[in-house]
Amino acid sequence: MVERLFRRRGATAITVSKLGALVVVALACGLGAKAADESSRQWASDLGTYPGTWIFVGLLIGRFASSSAAAILGAALFFLATVVSYYTYSEAVLGFGGGHFVYIWTGVALVLAPPGAAVVSLSYRRRGWAAALVASLVAGAILADGPLRQYWNELTIDLPSDFPFHPVQAVIDVVLAAASVLLLTGDWRGRILAVALLFPAMLLAERATEHFWSIIYR
């Protein structure tokens, strides 16, 4: 019995230390993202502005969580800490706060990110078609609201000649989307299925993000 209690306490200590490290990393990410927003280098500013990086971080939390409950807790802590440090830096260093965006992104951190990470965790453990479906949705979400879409628009509609493209972030999004598929699917059959589902997943993600931004900027 003593041995079991010791093991439980040891496991709890390890879990607390991991969550503490996750919060520290999240605080650093929030500070870095806000500092990057103010950077004169476009690629640095894009990295924190476009959602691809943050979606991929959520995937990593779910993918490497020991359970769906751990994924929920980890995602909530990470994204909440990121929001806090991001807007604390903005207020303390730059002299302006986030206004209603603080509440919006806090809501995303507590309401949307945790179940998303849990779905990733569950699908990874089940593998098969579930993992392929979730991988395609994650990859589609990364690509749908990123600068890669701008290049598609260049082919389909007449954009202004001075339209600001974001080539570095476009490459980063493609890499993150590919990594999402590789991390979630366990074999080539699953990866082929995820790629086959990618285009409809992008269309679905595009509609969802358009609806999301329309609510925010209403």
Contacts of 104 (CB under 8 A, 6+ apart): 216
Confidence of residue 122 (pLDDT cuts 50, 70, 90): very high
| For range 104-122, the mean pLDDT | 95
Q: Is the pLDDT of residue 6 over 50?
A: no
pLDDT of residue 152: 64
38 SS3 class: coil
**Could you read off the pLDDT of 143-180 as tens digits, one per residue?**
987 777 766 665 556 656 656 667 788 889 999 999 99
Largest CA distance in the chain: 73
| Cα distance between residue 118 and residue 112, in whole Å | 10
| For range 102-131, the mean pLDDT | 93
Q: Is the pLDDT of residue 4 over 70?
A: no
pLDDT of residue 186: 81
**Could you read off the pLDDT of 44-98 as tens digits, one per residue?**
888 888 888 999 999 999 999 988 999 999 999 999 999 999 999 998 888 887 7
Which has more pLDDT, 15 or 210?
Answer: 210
Confidence of residue 12 (pLDDT cuts 50, 70, 90): very low
39-48, 124-133, 183-192: least confident range: 39-48
Query: Residue 1: exposed, middle, or buried by beta-carbon count in 10 A (0-12, 13-18, 19+)?
Result: exposed
Q: Is the pLDDT of residue 187 over 90?
A: no
| For range 15-35, the mean pLDDT | 90
Average pLDDT in the chain: 85
Q: What is the pTM of this model?
A: 0.85
| Cα distance between residue 164 and residue 81, in whole Å | 32
Contact predicate 198/136, CB 8 Å: yes
